[in-house]
Structure 1
Amino acid sequence: MNSILRIGELGSLGQIVARYPEAIFAASFIFLVTWACFHLLYNIFLHPLKHFPGPTLWAATRLPWCWWQYNGRLNDRLLELHTKYGHTVRIAPNDLSFTTDTAWKTIYGQRSAEMGKDPVFRLHTPTGSQNILVADRETHVRQRRLLSHAFSEKALREQESILMMHVNKLQEQLSARCTSGPLNMVAWYTFTTFDLIGDLSFGENFGCLDNGDYVPFVRATESISKELTFMQMLIYYRLQKVRQIFMPKGVAGARFQNVKRAMDAVDRRINRVTDRKDFLYYILAANDEKGMSRAEINVNAFSLSIAGSESTATLLSGATFYLLTHRHIYTILVKEIRTAFKSENEITLASTNNLEYLGAVLSESLRLYPPVAGTLPRQVPPGGQTIDGAYVPAGTSVGVNHFSCFHHPQNFYRADDFLPERWLPGIRDAAPFEKDNRACMQPFSFGTRNCLGKNLAKAEMRLILAKLMWRFDLELVEGRGDWMEGQKIFGFWAKPPLMCRLEVMRRD
């Protein structure tokens, strides 16, 4: 009672703090340490996921996950953990990572109660409007219905002339420049895919191929991917309002600047009446009372222009590197392409479908160097879910890590080696590939939210690589055999230059 009176005599809380600052600081520190220790011990010994395998420190706190994510090496580390602990690993207090084909089906497959995107890691658009990549289920169904017209087989056939124009422009630019010295194929693939997808998205290309250089929209892609990666960590710790403190210089705000550029391009395209069969043609043609708002069209055009170009350029860069560091495979592919066509004009979307070895090379490149290398996290719905034989409680964040799944030694024979023959008919079901778990290879994701543009992406890959290999002899510049070593991933691969010598093949 006396102590209560003495405190009352001190007056306000501010006076107490002013009179006993050291005591208040010590008490606060002790409280925080005690709370942190309890939180860590609860995660390790009492949490509903305590029975799942994984490193103890990762189970206790998300900080190890954040550390590897911040340094761009999370996927490498997750592969190490999966190799050590198995197909199911606890990678954070409330997160499980999987690497099986059955997990793909359970987590991402069609179901009455959808496993929705994890709200903590569900990245929102800079304007707040939903696009097809982040939309809730109802909005996603509506938007996908509209966008499906733009990515149909019929649309792809009608868009072939646009694809051909840009791929042929790439060929001419490479022919004009290859005698001047080695060329950075990462840059030239990026110029092509961005020009092409910009043309399909907005009805105007970026001009990268014409200028042989990046424009601001394209150059900002790396900063955008880093911004998204860092925002995931800030949202988890509820620090997004002070993101300027933690975000590296030149990264913050990159997305918003590019969305503004996309909005201006969309406005110009809509105001320009045309029957040209680009994406907006199909979207606007099917835009009824259940269609998209202008804000939704803006953010979808922006997202498609990034996702539909960076991923294709990444795959082509990886495939080129693997081919040029495996000369016997390169020789087989070149022979297939050059014997299949008498002239470059014969190389079309339809004709490249018949190139089995090209398809195998691209599939193996997607496995070893997936453009989407990370995890697309989902949240277990109410009632929980059994995944790979184990019950996972509601609210748990779950997902299949692409890189770990495709590289797991229990999923593929010689999982780290470039072996395109594992995908060839007549070989893939025989030794030593008969035990390959090909069903776990889902580079375009799985289920109702899989990549809508996968057919377009595959068509671009086949067309560009076939035309390139038909016209040019390629060779990797000496000392670039370690191009893959140490590459970091911030949403997208942070690719260094891939310097190659090109020589136009002589035909007598």
Structure 2
Amino acid sequence: MDTTQLNFSLVKILGVVTIFATVFVIYQLVFNVFFHPLRKFPGPKLWAASRIPWCYHQYRGRLHSRLLQLHTIYGGTVRVAPNELSYATADAWKTIYGHRKDEMGKDPIFRLHTPTGAQNILVADRETHIRQRRLLSYAFSESALREQEPILQLYTRKLADQLSRECNEGPLDIVAWLTFASFDLIGHMSFGENFGCLDEGDYAPFVRSITAMASELIFDQMWKYWGVMALRKYFTPKGLVGQRIKNVKTAMQTVQRRIERGSDHRDFLHYILSANEEKAMSPAEINVNAFSLCIAGSESTATALSGAAFYMLTHPPVYRQLVKEIREAHADEKEITLASTNRLEYLDAVITETLRMYPPVAVTLPRRVPAGGEVIGGEFVPQGTTVGVHHYSASHSPDNFHLPEAFLPQRWLPGTRDEPPFASDKKACMQPFSFGPRSCLGKNIARAEMRLLFAWLLYRFDWQLELGHKEWRQQKMQGFWQKKPLFCTLTPATR
């Protein structure tokens, strides 16, 4: 066979392959739209045909807002991919994430995976999760929180003192400083070693890489869905590749230092290391749990604190009411404690409304429907379907909340939350710490930290938002919110 004949044969083979591939793709698209078991569920046809629209908006960091638009158009249940249903209803929380005999397992493609492969409390199978959660529950108990108050006070005062020194130099990026405090605090509470952000007035390398790490995870999930993980290094931005492995190594080194030096301080590792052999974690589990607890407990709190600062400063009546409540309740900074701030109803309402408007976890935590299928929201869903409640849509849906885009702390106050126009709010739709047996262990610590920090800072300083930052909330979401600087002028409060 000469070269001409060979080339002609190759062209024919390529042509046949192309035809078959095209026919298969068309068949798949048509099947997904018109014959798929989920065809009866509402949603845009393009999204039903392929996951490409979902991935496109995820890549752009706008999936959260696009899913909200879809829920506003189609209702509480929307088909957002060929084999995925998104929910924004209270009963979906209970059915999907609540206590069940046959737990809806995490979606094997879109679940979080640790870089080392070891299971942590966020990704573990049911048996491992129960063992790890029982072990860690002591570290997040009410008694443990009371023991940790000196540490909370230490970093709160350190933040306030640093801001007192810095505020004379001009406007401050309050997002950065709240992040410094959150990471230093959780580092100390996790393994007795802070990151030194407050001391240096700058992000530690580990802290600075958190956003890139979250984005890397999002890209990995998409490559895994399409079965092209081998291509990830060519298409994932270079600044993102390897961030998770790098951060886990840093956490492992920190854990090892903590184990070698020992400590009487009851940090999270104290409870892990003191477990008996039957319940104990392996060294690999200890490393990934310390890493995950550190990230989850700091980034989410920093996000909520930053959001609360933005909303109170862009709503002057809210700011004035907060200042009034905090300063009237305390005659001196020494009186500001976990117990005293727990009694501040308006502050707690501001924090709750912030978590609704700006949930630190604004994504879907996907699960797979188990064998036999399940009825969700009154409709039967076949086994193998990916399902989940989309946090952002559930909290922002006009079907769930009165004026959902308005920041209204009074919707959570005892005297007004059950009265019109808030009586019809479906408050169970909002679950910022998730729901059921895998809900966030650290929610009490997170809320206590937020109350204490804001009480101190609003007692010591008068705040003013700098011009040009009212569009701060227009952020991308890739795992975590891509937060922008928020410059504020702080001046010592006059008594």
2:489 corresponds to: 501
2:146 pairs with one of 147, 151, 157: 157
1:395 corresponds to: 384
Residues 28-107 of structure 1 mapped to structure 2, 5 A cutoff: 28-107=17-96
2:400 pairs with one of 407, 411, 421: 411
| Aligned partner of residue 89 in structure 1, secondary structure | strand
RMSD between aligned residues: 1.3
1:426 corresponds to: 415
Give yes or no for contact 1:149–1:283 (8 Å, CA) kept in 2.
no
* Structure of higher CA gyration radius: 1
Cα shift at 1:284: 1.2
Residues 52-451 of structure 1 mapped to structure 2, 5 A cutoff: 52-451=41-440
1:6 corresponds to: none
| Aligned partner of residue 405 in structure 2, secondary structure | coil
Cα distance in 2 for partners of 1:224, 1:202 equals 21
Give yes or no for contact 2:135–2:279 (8 Å, CA) kept in 1.
no
Cα distance in 1 for partners of 2:116, 2:476 equals 28
Cα distance in 2 for partners of 1:129, 1:467 equals 40
1:24 corresponds to: 13
Cα distance in 2 for partners of 1:123, 1:352 equals 35
1:489 pairs with one of 477, 481, 486: 477
Cα shift at 1:200: 1.2
| Aligned partner of residue 500 in structure 1, secondary structure | strand
Cα distance in 1 for partners of 2:204, 2:6 equals 56
Could you list the runs of 4 or more consecutive aligned residues of structure 1 that deviate by over 4 angstroms after TM superposition?
14-19
1:402-434 Cα shifts (integer Å, max 9, x gaps): 000000001000000000000001211111111
Give structure 2 stretches of 5+ with no counterpart: none
Cα shift at 1:241: 2.3
Cα shift at 1:260: 0.3
Cα distance in 2 for partners of 1:18, 1:126 equals 46
Count how many residue pairs are aligned between Structure 1 and Structure 2: 495
Give yes or no for contact 1:375–1:402 (8 Å, CA) kept in 2.
yes
1:115-156 Cα shifts (integer Å, max 9, x gaps): 010001112111110101111111111111111111111111
The one-letter code of the counterpart of 2:31 is Y
| Aligned partner of residue 20 in structure 1, secondary structure | helix
Cα distance in 1 for partners of 2:81, 2:231 equals 23
The one-letter code of the counterpart of 1:353 is N
Identity in percent: 61
Give yes or no for contact 1:412–1:436 (8 Å, CA) kept in 2.
yes
Cα shift at 1:322: 0.5
1:253-299 Cα shifts (integer Å, max 9, x gaps): 10000000000000000111221111111111124322100100000
1:211-269 Cα shifts (integer Å, max 9, x gaps): 00011100010111101111111110111122101211110110000000000000000
1:13-58 Cα shifts (integer Å, max 9, x gaps): x998655121111111111100000000000011000000000000
Give structure 1 stretches of 5+ with no counterpart: 1-9
